[in-house]
Amino acid sequence: MITRYAFFEGLINAGETANFRAAVSTEILPHWKSFPSVISVRVCFENERDEGAPQMPLILAITYPNRASIDVALASPQRAKAVAATESVLTRFFQGRVYHHITEAYEGVE
């Protein structure tokens, strides 16, 4: 399996953490879950971090069966809707940047 992570590095507007989390869950998550070939969607909200570590109020992990499935999802109409919903939420609550990593998991690697 292969996972595409989105790291939301930055700050939530003061006093808006609960509203940000609610908006992600209700306004964006349904779009992410609708991507073609998705195996799982994990939305991780930051509660704590090491001293000196960058603030990442949200880390998104979407897992697919293979790399080709990611390309299909990124070109899908569902992604276009997710991008619009994400931009709406970020504009209201978030100051920072978003970047992505694609990873491949191996369990029990020796």
Amino acid 90 reads L
- Cα angle: 62, vertex 83, 32; to 5 degrees: 30
pLDDT band at 108 (very low <50, low <70, confident <90, very high): confident
Model pLDDT for residues 16-70, shown as the tens digit of each residue: 999 999 999 999 999 999 999 999 999 999 999 999 999 999 999 999 999 999 9
62-95 pLDDT per residue, tens: 999 999 999 999 999 999 999 999 999 999 999 9
pLDDT in tens, 1-10: 999 999 999 9
**CATH class label, 2-104:** alpha beta
Q: What is the pTM of this model?
A: 0.93
Query: Hey, where are the domains in the chain?
Result: 2-104
